[in-house]
Structure 1
Amino acid sequence: MTTTTPHIVLPRLKKLLEDGIAEDLHAGAQVYASINEDPVADFAIGEARPGVPMQTDTLNLWLSSSKPVTAIAIAQQLEQHNLELDDPVAQHIPAFAQNGKEHITIRHLLTHTAGIRIVPYHYPKDSIERVVQKICKARPEPRWIAGETAGYHLHTAWYLLAYIVQSITGQPYRHYVRDHIFKPLGMNDCYIGMKPETYDRLHDRIAIMSHFDDGGTKGNLTDTESEKAWVSGGRPGGNGYGPMKQLGIFYETLLHGGDHNGARIIEPETVGLFTARHREGLHDKTFQQTIDWGLGFLLDSKRYGEANLHYGYGPLASDDTFGHSGYQSSSAFADPHHGLVVAIVCNGTPGDIPHRTRMFNILKTLYEELNLT
């Protein structure tokens, strides 16, 4: 079943996504793109959950596309002189200094060079506070030089960053991002940790993230990530929910120097600082590719000779493109060279290689159809 909304549709891209539904790569998709804040694509196809059409206002799981929101929350603390990028994490979380971690800084967390990638915890049972306690007791990875050794930190660094924001502001992280990022920008349907009563109200609008195997055959269709405990738990590095059009507003704001319709969340100089190359030319031990990073933002890294990168922005994105992608599902970014913002999610995780191929082709087709080649 495929449905479209009466919004701006790119026919070649729509057909590609429909083919993905037929091939059991995903159940549906949401697409938003704008050039200089003028929408050039805004549509939804397929199903959000069995029998329920995907709509442009469906709340989809962002997974790691959530991470830049935490980065901007830290940027706000930097502007307010509540922290410095080279502050030791232990300056804000004293217990973190255990077991040789006293030299790890906030900058190391934001650039995935801290060396604390793997710390077991149980989500959604463990709160942010409980996860931070476990991270504080952990040891850095052996032979890891903070700031020089690189490897994508899936969750740990983002729990620490969110906890720092909580400690400084006195607000639970999920409330802080709603009050200081989402609501000012009009991202009213976006959450990283939804109140249980809000979940009850919005449940029917939340899409299921379907899971498929690496062979492209329909596998484990589950709604674990749309259950109340998961949605309300608030995992700061991967538990954002909202329509992709509203995530697009976040990137339009950054392209506009931190301002959206008169609502300013950060200053232009801070946008430039956080989206500049702070980690450059380092081999990523998690992704096994050379990938550059800003402060919480993944930067286009085709300059190193490999076009189909983990969390990449396709073969036609400009060198100054910044953003983040989500595990086998989403991509959201800004391409300043073209004034382009893209926010896309496919609600199906088909395996690493099928997804990388899928997103590569999606983004290639989008650029071609917009004549941005």
Structure 2
Amino acid sequence: MTPSPRQHDRLVGLIEQGIRAGQHLGAQVYASLRGKPAVNLAVGEAAPGVAMTPETLMLWMSATKPIVAAAVMQCVERGELALDDPIARHLPPFAAEGKDAITIRHLLTHTGGFRHVPLRFPEHSWPQIIDTICAAPIEKGWEPGKTAGYHPRPSWFILGELVQRATDQPLPEYLREKLFEPLGMADCFVGIPENIYEQYHDAKRIGMLPNTEGKQLAAHPRTSKPWLIACAPASNGLGPTRQLARFYEMLLNGGTLNGARVLQPDTVEQMTHRQRAGAYDLTFQHRLDWGLGMMLDKPDRRGRMPYGHGRHASPGTFGHGGMQSSAAFGDPHHGLAVAAVFVGMPGEQIHQRRMDELLTALYEELKLANP
């Protein structure tokens, strides 16, 4: 049975409080415990005048990144790529401007060294974007594998290009075939085909992501048609939160879900355990631990780390948030999978506080809080 909102009055109250404060129009929140639904909330509006439902497709922003990391790791499992391969082995132009030593592992742990390459997305084509990144220099003084700093976008286009070259398949199609369809994520896309976009749009099933930081409600271009039909491997995953949570149910289950195996257990182990520990992150200006494509919780920083998982998350919790809007993660100690997206970007400080409050309350309502 799907839980009703009345069973989670505190969570609903927090979301409605944010609606009244102008932080967001609404939210979707989904959680499962040991594979069984525990929270399934759709509160407020998906766009002005459009009610939120559990079937609304939400923009995940950077919570997309672990999906693409899993695709890379599938290529590693098949021997098409290796974590310590230099990128230039598979994409020779990438070696330009001091980037020859950067490896696939460096990109998955955010230690590559080209964080802020200016990109014209979605105006430029995929090949143009790849050419721009390949021509960019490594950051001055950066030591690949040692210097750490979150890479918001460019490195993920490169990872997507590696998957395409390894599989001879466009990344959006590959993700659908090898991850979303086997995992029952039927309404999920990274770069939604235009004809399918029109179907969801006409049915009013695509959520808006407005900028709510100012006094005027402003639609963010990332939920416009040109952004959503293009492929941004770092940030334009789209789908209901309950389906995004299935990805974490798979990871918590060692790479399989409902009889479909998409990753081997040792691959899941690598992705969800520390590959980068204690390094100071130049982007977040905080010491953060990473697996492969995922941020990891630590007991001395729970509730305070940027884009964390709430104050009660277990030390082994792994996942990824999205800019001022989303969180998705798995907590292996509890067998808890969570995905949450707010319809509104109110600024970093407000978002960090509201998400921390929501996730902390979720643990407490499910009686998973630390004593």
TM class by shorter-chain length? Answer: over 0.9
State the aligned residue count: 366
Q: Which amino acid aligns with 2:176?
A: R
Q: Which amino acid aligns with 2:321?
A: S
CA RMSD of aligned residues (A): 1.4
C-alpha displacement of 1:9 = 4.3
> What TM-score does the superposition give when structure 2 sets the normalisation length?
0.96
* Separation (CA, whole Å) in 1 of partners of 2:3 and 2:208: 19
Among residues 135, 146, 149, which one is paired with 2:147 in the alignment? 149
* Separation (CA, whole Å) in 1 of partners of 2:337 and 2:72: 22
Q: Which amino acid aligns with 1:179?
A: E
Is 2:207 aligned against 1:207?
A: yes
1:173-252 matched pairs, under 5 angstroms: 173-203=171-201, 204-213=204-213, 218-222=215-219, 224-252=221-249
Identity %: 47
Once the two structures are superposed, what CA deviation does each residue of 1:93-151 show, in whole Å capped at 9, x if it has no partner? 01001111110000000000001001111111123322111111011000111111100
Which consecutive residues of structure 2, in runs of 5 or more, have no partner in the other structure? none
Contact 2:255–2:262 (8 Å) recurs in 1: yes
Could you list the structure 1 runs, at least 4 aligned residues long, displaced by more than 6 angstroms after superposition.
none
Is 2:272 aligned against 1:275?
A: yes
Contact 2:60–2:235 (8 Å) recurs in 1: yes
Q: Secondary structure at the match of 1:132?
A: helix
C-alpha displacement of 1:83 = 1.1
Which consecutive residues of structure 1, in runs of 5 or more, have no partner in the other structure? none
Contact 2:302–2:309 (8 Å) recurs in 1: no
C-alpha displacement of 1:218 = 3.7
Contact 1:8–1:43 (8 Å) recurs in 2: no
Q: Secondary structure at the match of 2:289?
A: coil
Q: Which amino acid aligns with 1:310?
A: P
Among residues 306, 310, 333, which one is paired with 2:306 in the alignment? 310
Contact 2:298–2:316 (8 Å) recurs in 1: no
Q: Secondary structure at the match of 2:199?
A: helix
Residues 242 and 278 (structure 1), Cα distance of their counterparts in 2 relative to 1, 3 Å cut: same
1:36-51 matched pairs, under 5 angstroms: 36-51=34-49
* Separation (CA, whole Å) in 2 of partners of 1:313 and 1:129: 36
Q: Which amino acid aligns with 2:106?
A: H
Among residues 341, 346, 349, which one is paired with 2:342 in the alignment? 346
* Separation (CA, whole Å) in 1 of partners of 2:131 and 2:280: 29
Q: Secondary structure at the match of 1:371?
A: coil
Is 2:334 aligned against 1:321?
A: no
C-alpha displacement of 1:248 = 0.5
* Separation (CA, whole Å) in 1 of partners of 2:361 and 2:367: 10
> What TM-score does the superposition give when structure 1 sets the normalisation length?
0.96
Residues 318 and 152 (structure 1), Cα distance of their counterparts in 2 relative to 1, 3 Å cut: same
Partner of 2:165: 167
